[in-house]
């Protein structure tokens, strides 16, 4: 009896070890896939956003008014435009990711061209906002000097708008096929070029605002040109077969998915921008806006890392749904969340430890630095929330249920977060801290709702939906080539 029991225990122990070993191997393999996508995406996000933040740093050393004006443009207007472009281009993560998983490689280039058409048309609608920034800011009651300087800066951002259009869509296209390492190299080179040019134009040549913004335009478009060369130069032979008239077919379904993605992302990015705008109505508006925007920039730096895992989540979920493997999609989500939460804890501690010195990277004002330091505990909490929310948004993009998340964002941010922030900021007299608390309440509520939705999702049904979507828009390779040949004949 004892020997039998011992033998049984040994067998169960061996089986348990095998299961644990198999689980560790699965986690290791999935982690490698995630980091393969996330690492270049993180580098890209950090350096791309770093260009905007570095420019803000140079603006801060030009003057406090320039810093506050740039902060209004970057966090309000640029986030407004970037939200639309980034959101609408996120439709490519769904389409190209699922097409790659289903091995419909030839459709990826067509989806890219369709996205260009949709996003370029949307961007053209935004131009008047950049042109008439000064009167718009005056209309909503912003300070005269701040509105005037902000209007000058906004004109310089028009080339940046079109940089967003082409760079973001090409990034989605490349990362869906696991070729985004080139984007990491290009964005890193762009960031280095930007620092050199900014130092030269602002400090050495004393060109002020034109110098800082000119450096940004040159460095960002260097990256776009590099992406064009990589795609058109033959490094994507299966997914890019040239321009095709097929890009002008099925535009409306792509537009609808792009709009859903755009609304989902915009509601999220505009949330912070609206709160910064409300900070502009406080008594000491320049200090409030500067401190709030610095905290937001620091938080966004950390968020850029987690957005890299947003990209990884969307690609991995889309790939597995395209392949028809629901279990692999769910396992990927679990591994991704575990990784980002661990990183969030690390950043949370760092923000608490270095809260007294980080503000001086953006300003020389002791008063602004003290205001930033007072928000350190909230900045630490934001780091934890930022480690969860982007991954869940990436899951939504990969699965293609952006519309549902758009409603979640609307309710959590605009019906809960903003009212709480206004009550605490103005009624409770907590000012910038009250607005920041309101922002975190909205993010926390959204995170809880998205966790519940992800937990309750029928992933087998999502596999079926992905299959239906891909089959509906599929063009046979021969059909696509015929369309391409016909367009070549017409051009000749």
| Residue that wins the pLDDT comparison between 134 and 288 | 134
- Nearest CA to 342 out of 44, 24, 33, 31 is that of 31
Per the listing, tokens 């989605």 go with: 172
pLDDT recorded at residue 197: 94
Contact 206, 74 (CB under 8 A): no
Rounded mean pLDDT, 259-265: 75
**27 is a domain residue:** no
pLDDT recorded at residue 490: 33
Which residues, 6 or more positions from 111, have their beta carbon under 8 angstroms from its beta carbon? 92, 95, 96, 99, 173, 254
| Residue that wins the pLDDT comparison between 428 and 281 | 428
Compute the half-sphere exposure of residue 2: CA atoms within 13 Å on the CB side of its CA. Answer: 0
**25 is a domain residue:** no
Judge whether residue 163 has pLDDT over 90. yes
When pLDDT is cut at 50, 70 and 90, the band that residue 484 belongs to is: very low
Query: Two tokens at 71?
Result: 């902060």
**328 is a domain residue:** yes
Judge whether residue 488 has pLDDT over 50. no
**47 is a domain residue:** yes
**35 is a domain residue:** no
- Nearest CA to 108 out of 380, 477, 490 is that of 477
pLDDT recorded at residue 284: 60
**78 is a domain residue:** yes
Residue 342 has a CB neighbour count (10 Å cut-off) of: 10
DSSP secondary-structure letter at 246? G
Choose the most confident range, by mean pLDDT, from 138-142, 240-244, 258-262.
240-244
Judge whether residue 352 has pLDDT over 90. no
pLDDT recorded at residue 12: 45
Least confident of 59-68, 146-155, 277-286: 277-286
**6 is a domain residue:** no
Question: What's the pLDDT tens digit per position in 462-481?
Answer: 888 878 777 766 666 655 55
Write the secondary structure of 77-146 as one string of H (helix), E (strand) and C (coil).
HHHHHHHHHHHHHCHHHHHHHHHHHCCCCHHHHHHHHHHHHHHHHHHHHHHHHHHCHHHHHHHCCCCHHH
| Residue that wins the pLDDT comparison between 75 and 384 | 384
**104 is a domain residue:** yes
Q: What angle do CA 407, 174, 186 make, to 5 degrees?
A: 110
Domain count, the chain: 1
| Residue that wins the pLDDT comparison between 68 and 221 | 221
Domain that holds residue 84: 41-481
> What is the percentage of the chain residues whose pLDDT exceeds 70?
86
DSSP character string of 40-66: HHHHHHHHHHHHHHHHHHHHHHH-HHH
How far apart are alpha carbons 259 and 119 in whole angstroms?
10
Query: Two tokens at 454?
Result: 């992800």
| Residue that wins the pLDDT comparison between 196 and 102 | 196
């Amino acid at each position: 009896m004892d020997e039998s029991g011992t033998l049984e225990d040994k067998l169960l122990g061996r089986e348990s070890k095998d299961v644990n070993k198999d689980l560790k191997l699965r986690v290791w393999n999935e982690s490698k896939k995630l980091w393969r996508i996330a690492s270049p995406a993180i580098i890209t996000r950090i350096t791309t956003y770093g260009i905007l933040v570095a420019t803000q740093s140079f603006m801060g050393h030009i003057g406090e008014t320039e810093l506050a004006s740039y902060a209004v443009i970057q966090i309000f207007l640029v986030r407004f435009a970037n939200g639309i472009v980034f959101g609408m281009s996120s439709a490519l993560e769904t389409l190209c990711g699922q097409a790659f998983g289903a091995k419909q490689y030839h459709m990826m280039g067509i989806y890219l061209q369709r996205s260009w058409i949709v996003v370029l048309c949307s961007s053209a609608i935004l131009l008047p906002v950049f042109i008439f920034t000064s009167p718009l800011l005056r209309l909503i009651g912003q300070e005269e000097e701040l509105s005037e300087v902000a209007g000058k800066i906004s004109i310089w951002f028009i080339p940046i708008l079109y940089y967003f259009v082409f760079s973001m869509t090409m990034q989605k296209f490349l990362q869906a096929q696991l070729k985004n390492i080139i984007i990491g190299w290009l964005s890193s080179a762009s960031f280095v070029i930007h620092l050199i040019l900014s130092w030269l134009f602002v400090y050495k040549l004393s060109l002020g605002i034109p110098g800082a913004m000119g450096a940004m335009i040159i460095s960002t478009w260097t990256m776009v040109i590099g992406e064009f060369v990589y795609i058109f130069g033959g490094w994507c032979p299966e997914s890019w077969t040239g321009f095709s008239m097929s890009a002008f077919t099925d535009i409306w379904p792509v537009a609808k998915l792009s709009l859903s993605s755009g609304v989902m992302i915009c509601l999220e990015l505009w949330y912070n921008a609206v709160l910064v705008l409300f900070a502009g109505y406080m008594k000491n508006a320049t200090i409030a806006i500067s401190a709030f925007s610095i905290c937001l920039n620091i938080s966004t730096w950390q968020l850029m890392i987690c957005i890299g895992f947003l990209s990884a989540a969307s690609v991995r979920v889309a790939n597995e749904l395209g392949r028809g493997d629901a279990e692999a999609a769910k396992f990927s989500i679990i591994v991704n969340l575990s990784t980002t939460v661990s990183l969030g804890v690390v950043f949370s501690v760092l923000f608490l430890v270095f809260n007294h010195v980080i503000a001086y990277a953006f300003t020389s004002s002791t008063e602004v630095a003290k205001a930033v330091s007072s928000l350190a505990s909230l900045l630490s909490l934001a780091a934890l929330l930022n480690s969860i929310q982007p991954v869940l948004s990436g899951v939504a993009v990969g699965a293609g249920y952006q519309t549902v998340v758009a409603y979640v964002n609307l309710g959590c941010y605009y019906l809960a977060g903003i009212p709480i922030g206004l009550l605490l900021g103005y009624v409770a007299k907590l000012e910038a801290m009250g607005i920041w608390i309101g922002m975190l309440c909205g993010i926390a509520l959204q995170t809880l709702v998205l966790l519940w939705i992800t937990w309750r999702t029928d992933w087998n049904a999502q596999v079926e939906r992905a299959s239906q979507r891909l089959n509906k828009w599929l063009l046979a390779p021969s059909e696509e080539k015929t369309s391409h040949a016909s367009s070549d004949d017409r051009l000749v």
